[in-house]
Chains A and B, each alone.
Chain A
């Protein structure tokens, strides 16, 4: 069965410093992977997705993620954090049939000034 594991439940950074949110996946097939962001009391917004094209995926708001098959990882990065990046981030994999999404437990990103 496919699954994702977010390695950190909480990450704290200072404004202007790099962001790294870690995600490992487990899948018996070539997975489709996503990062979604959820700001407090809001719905989920798609940041980026990987579907077996380029391994380095660029998303919105300066975020990017790199698919590394050898490490079964799909870590999310941003060169410079902004206060508005403070939110909950979910790493997500589509099931093999493509009919549903499977969510990781989430990582809370805090950004201090």
Chain B
């Protein structure tokens, strides 16, 4: 099973709301990622967790707060977002952070479509 699940599929929130996006995988992967994708653009890396520790933060504003409660779950907590944060948020996982090897591959979830009003 190479499935990464994300909930919710769609989310509409106001600028003063607090919400969370959830991502789950049961492939035993130890690396998990958050990407942001605007319309007609490639995904942009936001965060990388490796063995439940934050290893890469691509200078993401603090209104986005990631959390990795265990090796299967990855959350993205949202607070005081702006309309320009509206996008598709993609979660991905891989066995490790050795994407340059033949044995490791990054698998993506279907995404959460976020609209900030």
Quick one: which of A32, A44, A45, A105 contacts B99, CB cutoff 8 A? A32
Binds B, one of A17-25, A67-75, A92-100: A92-100
Say how far A43's CB is from chain B's closest CB, in angstroms: 4
Cβ-defined contact, A46 with B45, below 8 A: no
Cβ-defined contact, B101 with A98, below 8 A: yes
Q: Which residue of A lies closest to B33 (CB)?
A: A100
A-B contacts, CB under 8 A, total: 68
Classify the interface of chain A: helix, strand, loop or mixed: loop
Determine the chain B residues whose CB is within 8 A of the CB of A46 once the complex forms. Answer: 105-107
- Encode B67-99 as 1/0 by CB contact (under 8 A) with A: 000000000000000000000001010000111
Cβ-defined contact, A43 with B110, below 8 A: yes
Cβ-defined contact, A41 with B42, below 8 A: no
B66 at the interface (CB under 8 A from A): no
Cβ-defined contact, B45 with A101, below 8 A: yes
A-B contacts besides A95-B99, A99-B56, 8 pairs, CB < 8 Å: A32-B99, A32-B100, A43-B90, A43-B108, A44-B92, A46-B107, A51-B101, A98-B100
CB within 8 Å for A49 and B105 given contacts A90-B42, A94-B99, A104-B42: yes
Classify the interface of chain B: helix, strand, loop or mixed: loop
Within the assembled complex, what's the spacing in Å between the Cα atoms of A97 and B55?
A: 12
Cβ-defined contact, B101 with A42, below 8 A: no
Contact count band on B: 20 to 34
- A residues within 8 Å of B by Cβ? 31-32, 36, 41-46, 49, 51-53, 90, 94-101, 103-106
Determine the chain A residues whose CB is within 8 A of the CB of B110 once the complex forms. Answer: 42-43
Within the assembled complex, what's the spacing in Å between the Cα atoms of A36 and B107?
A: 10
Determine the chain A residues whose CB is within 8 A of the CB of B55 once the complex forms. Answer: 99
Q: Would you mind naming 9 contact pairs between A and B with Cβ atoms under 8 Å apart? A: A32-B99, A43-B108, A45-B108, A49-B105, A98-B98, A98-B100, A99-B55, A100-B97, A101-B99
